[in-house]
Amino acid sequence: MRRIKELVIEKTLFSSALVTILVTLGIILVLSVEAINFFREVSIVDFFTDTQWTPLFTEKHFGILPLLSGTLLTSFIAILFAVPVGLSISIYISEYAPRSFRKTIKPALELLAAVPSVVYGFFALTVVTPFLQNFIPGLSGFNSLSAGLVMGIMIIPFISSLSEDALHAVPNSLREAAYGMGSTRLQNAFRVMVPAASSGIIVSIILAISRAIGETMIVAIAAGQQPRLTLDPTVPVETITAYIVQVSLGDVQHGSLEYRTIFAAGITLFAFTFILNTVSYRIRKKFREKYE
């Protein structure tokens, strides 16, 4: 009796774990089926080469490039801002700051990641954009610059926290050896610690990129809703995620071509983040083996 009970419990627990596999299969299946339906009507060559994205207009174009460029532009600005700041924070906390400071500052920085993204969007639109307009006269009310910068603030804790963990995991003997050779804290940090923790730092940056690409509300609120193929950070753009929100807010019929565009856009987004996440997982696996 007891054997049977134990077995039933184990199977129940196992099936709960299986749910996670079902979720992944569900995502891939849902996105693929609707995307295949989409590509029955729109040529895949057009999708990747057409430079206009106007599915909601009468003259329809289905080129993903403008949405992709909007996504990459905002993410690039965010990363450009967050990586130097986040890395400096992690080096400072792990190599310079007293231990007690580390204990208070880490949870404080994690608050930055706890703020809902719709709130950051409001910040970008009502505070950062008007502030930047003082310096950049031509800055449009919706632009990728302030959306990107605010997104950068949001992902700082991802980079600083994960990189700090990586620096923290470097064996202390390396640090002692560096100081023993007479190096300064700065030399120790940049010539010994950062190279030793490089894989962990790279993982943190990859995860931050993946996070930025998938971020939705900040760009939907502050970057605008005009798909446009440009590298100009001062004009409105539209990201993949913002497009999906735009369509979801409207009245689009299930099964129509417009409905399917959000799945075609979604599968593009999913492919990007999936590749980034898998690469970071591989590196993390390898890194763990190195010091254990």
Partner 1 sequence: MMDQAFQFWGIACTLLGLVLLAIFIGSIIVDGIQRIDWDFISNLPSRKADRAGIYTALMGSVWVLVLTTIIALPIGIAAAIYLEEYSKKDKFASILEVNISNLAGVPSIIYGLLGLEIFVRILQMGSSVLAGSFTLALLILPIVIVSTREALKAVPQSLRDASFALGASKWQTVSQQLLPASFGGILTGIILALSRAVGETAPLIVIGALAYVPFAPTNPMDDFSVLPIQIFNWISRPQHGFEVNAAAAIIILLLITFIMNGIAVYFRNKWQKKFK
| Alpha-helical runs (H) found in 99-226 | 99-114, 117-123, 129-133, 144-169, 172-180, 185-187, 194-196, 198-214, 217-222
Backbone phi and psi for residue 228, each to the nearest 5 degrees, phi listed first: -155, 135
| Among 36-44, 62-70, 103-111, 230-238, the segment contacting partner 1 (CB under 8 A) | 103-111
Radius of gyration of the chain (CA): 23
User: Does the protein bind partner 1 through residue 99 (CB under 8 A)?
Assistant: no
DSSP at 253: P
Reading phi first (left if > 0) and then psi (alpha if -120 to 50, else beta), residue 116 is in beta
Residues in contact with partner 1, shown as a per-residue x/- string from 225 to 244 under the rule CB under 8 A: ----------------x--x
Write 186-190 long-range contacts (CB < 8 A, 24+): 188/95, 189/91, 189/95, 190/91
Q: From the CB of 13, what's the least distance to partner 1, in Å?
A: 4
User: Does the protein bind partner 1 through residue 119 (CB under 8 A)?
Assistant: yes
Which residue in the set 4, 14, 59, 292 belongs to the binding site for partner 1 (CB under 8 A)? 14
Write 20-24 long-range contacts (CB < 8 A, 24+): none
Q: From the CB of 209, what's the least distance to partner 1, in Å?
A: 11
User: Does the protein bind partner 1 through residue 136 (CB under 8 A)?
Assistant: no
User: Does the protein bind partner 1 through residue 189 (CB under 8 A)?
Assistant: yes
Q: From the CB of 212, what's the least distance to partner 1, in Å?
A: 10
User: Does the protein bind partner 1 through residue 123 (CB under 8 A)?
Assistant: yes
Residues 197-235 as b or e (16 or more Cβ within 10 Å = b): bebbbbbbbbbbbbbbbbbbbbbbbbbbbbbbbeeebbb
Distance CA 16, CA 269 (A): 28
User: Does the protein bind partner 1 through residue 203 (CB under 8 A)?
Assistant: no
Q: From the CB of 101, what's the least distance to partner 1, in Å?
A: 9
Which residue in the set 36, 44, 80, 115 belongs to the binding site for partner 1 (CB under 8 A)? 115
Q: From the CB of 252, what's the least distance to partner 1, in Å?
A: 10
Closest to 239 (Cα-Cα) out of 70, 48, 120: 70
- Which residue, 49 or 278, has its beta carbon nearer to partner 1? 278
User: Does the protein bind partner 1 through residue 37 (CB under 8 A)?
Assistant: no
- Which residue, 45 or 182, has its beta carbon nearer to partner 1? 182
Which residue in the set 248, 256, 286, 288 belongs to the binding site for partner 1 (CB under 8 A)? 248
User: Does the protein bind partner 1 through residue 5 (CB under 8 A)?
Assistant: yes
Subset of residues 253 to 282 that bind partner 1, contact rule: CB under 8 A: 254, 262-263, 266, 269-270, 273-274, 276-278, 280-281
